[in-house]
Structure 1
């Protein structure tokens, strides 16, 4: 198929593009290469496949409607995966306008291009952060997500609402994936695995928020990519069991779906740090600090719907995943 993927210089986007190329798809990558974190890492991710004969790359911003329309007109994608976004919960506290441009303006540009381009299926990145102040575990698709605790989370919930509108009005099949703490080789340097690995490697203390009581549904990158591809290959359809008097937030009478995509096995943050220390061969001091604004205490994905509908089955244990991450980290940052 011809698949347009936004964010192909990013962590998940690069891994997805490589997998799609490996199975024989044509991929059109779209990324603005911003400097939210080291652009050299983005270039290194791209270098693994940018010369592939079935890959085309465009450096442009999602908020540039003309650039988005040009990409769709040139490539005429059959399906689209929108992973480009201004990432980061904590950054949204300092730079809220960046999230409006990328995650709201940019997303409506994608929706409009999909609508006019008669795209067969749009898969887009939502986030576990939409669960916000919820405390019932595991996080289930049927739960209300009306109490976000960061603008990033609010922008991702807005994406789900915007997608439903286009599914309802124009029959555009859309599937939103709520990602849960993705980690692994080529990961983002603003996230805890690399932040911790850097400081542990140098023998420096690490800051551990919420006094180390966090738990996260850490999900290995290969499992995430497998889930994205399975969802992409199953275009959303109207739910024949949808009841407008008792609506299910994750389905619709329109071709619309939302899924959790995680490991379904939350891990205590202190256990994750312990595994990093074991694989790096040294321990370090932990500065136990209060919860940061915008953070949530725990995450845990109920992935039963994704298992049922597309056969999603995460297979990487936290022990194996951390070992593979550290092996890459040592090689890349040597």
Structure 2
């Protein structure tokens, strides 16, 4: 095994949807020295515990995929937990990575970092140019802080200590390991669950909130994991050609969006629901469009492989496996 593949890699958040996909991708690429810790084994909010972990393990690389996440209901109900826990995890891991001599780190953010009314598609330089969506502002602020932590450590210690901390901002993700909770899930897992239950109950109609006209972009989680490893492994000179010191993060998107109506029909087809799909225009639509500009990443040589229909089929099969256990 090459020295490159033998590096010790710590994946924080390996039980989450993205973290578990990153572990699978690293193993597929031949990386064997991967270390993980469950929350019970290592509480990333505990500064002393994180310090002890890094002093003992001394990883060469870190993928920071750990986060407190949830849908609109959870963000609205627990704003203090969302900002505090995410800020603490990011601060502890990034700082202790630096202190222990980690040269390469990848921080995973979210598309919610961009202003609510950002021009579409949302480019990296739209960051901090307008007001955030109020429903998830605490979470977004924490994710912005993670980006700025990486930028700040690079600016102050990059040249003197040889560190290279990068950030990737995914669009809406779905796939194996997703959260199907009836109140805390995002749109695709929520629709998969609703259509599955409607099929099982032989309901004639499923009604979706809103007009169905808003447009959203979705990326299969295995593509996100592949992009994460791709960005981490890029030569610094190549990466720096597409970034700037004060705008160093990279968007990761599918490159196209769909209406909520098109998404609902695609999910219904993947699940095998045969009934009608209606929309309730008296309910809120939310932001008219959320679409990421991923041209920086595309210029670096990465493009997604899994289309929406194939990804939904795979996601539904994994949902079935989890619910029938």
How would you bin the TM-score normalised by the shorter chain? 0.7 to 0.9
SS of residue matched to 2:287: coil
Q: Residues 201-224 of structure 1, C-alpha deviation per residue, up to 9 Å, x if partnerless?
A: 222665634422222110011211
Q: Match of 2:46? A: 64
Hey, what's the Cα distance between the residues in 1 that align with 2:19 and 2:173? 12
SS of residue matched to 2:291: coil
1:290 matches 2:283:
yes
Q: Match of 1:194? A: 189
Q: Match of 1:53? A: none
- Shift, 1:112, TM fit: 1.2
Hey, what's the Cα distance between the residues in 2 that align with 1:306 and 1:208? 34
Mapping of residues 196-275 of structure 1, within 5 Å: 196-203=191-198, 208-234=208-234, 236=236, 250-252=243-245, 257-275=248-266
Question: Does the C-alpha gap of structure 1 residues 169 and 238 become closer, same or farther in structure 2, counting only changes over 3 Å?
Answer: farther
1:8 matches 2:1:
no
Hey, what's the Cα distance between the residues in 2 that align with 1:143 and 1:21? 35
Q: Match of 1:138? A: 121
Hey, what's the Cα distance between the residues in 2 that align with 1:15 and 1:126? 16
- Shift, 1:234, TM fit: 2.1
Hey, what's the Cα distance between the residues in 2 that align with 1:207 and 1:86? 30
Bigger proportion of residues as helix: 2
1:154 matches 2:141:
yes
- Shift, 1:92, TM fit: 2.0
Hey, what's the Cα distance between the residues in 1 that align with 2:141 and 2:288? 18
Mapping of residues 66-85 of structure 1, within 5 Å: 66-85=48-67
Q: Match of 2:83? A: 100
Q: Match of 1:110? A: 93
Contact 1:121 1:235 in 2 (8 A): no
Contact 1:174 1:236 in 2 (8 A): no
Q: Residues 214-261 of structure 1, C-alpha deviation per residue, up to 9 Å, x if partnerless?
A: 2211001121111000011126569877xxxxxx9x5218xx820000
Contact 1:216 1:300 in 2 (8 A): yes
Q: Match of 2:321? A: 331
Q: Residues 145-182 of structure 1, C-alpha deviation per residue, up to 9 Å, x if partnerless?
A: 34211221122112112221111122231111111011
Hey, what's the Cα distance between the residues in 1 that align with 2:254 and 2:294? 8
Q: Residues 260-293 of structure 1, C-alpha deviation per residue, up to 9 Å, x if partnerless?
A: 001011111211111111122213554525337x
- Shift, 1:77, TM fit: 0.7
Q: Match of 1:175? A: 166
Contact 1:31 1:84 in 2 (8 A): no
- Shift, 1:120, TM fit: 1.4
SS of residue matched to 2:113: helix
- Shift, 1:119, TM fit: 0.8
Q: Match of 2:3? A: none
SS of residue matched to 1:226: helix
Contact 2:80 2:138 in 1 (8 A): no
- Shift, 1:185, TM fit: 2.2
Hey, what's the Cα distance between the residues in 1 that align with 2:116 and 2:289? 10
Q: Match of 1:165? A: 152
TM-align CA RMSD:
2.4
Hey, what's the Cα distance between the residues in 2 that align with 1:194 and 1:326? 9
- Shift, 1:101, TM fit: 2.6
Contact 2:215 2:289 in 1 (8 A): yes
SS of residue matched to 1:208: strand
Hey, what's the Cα distance between the residues in 2 that align with 1:116 and 1:211? 51
Instruction: Name which of 49, 53, 70 aligns with 1:88.
Output: 70
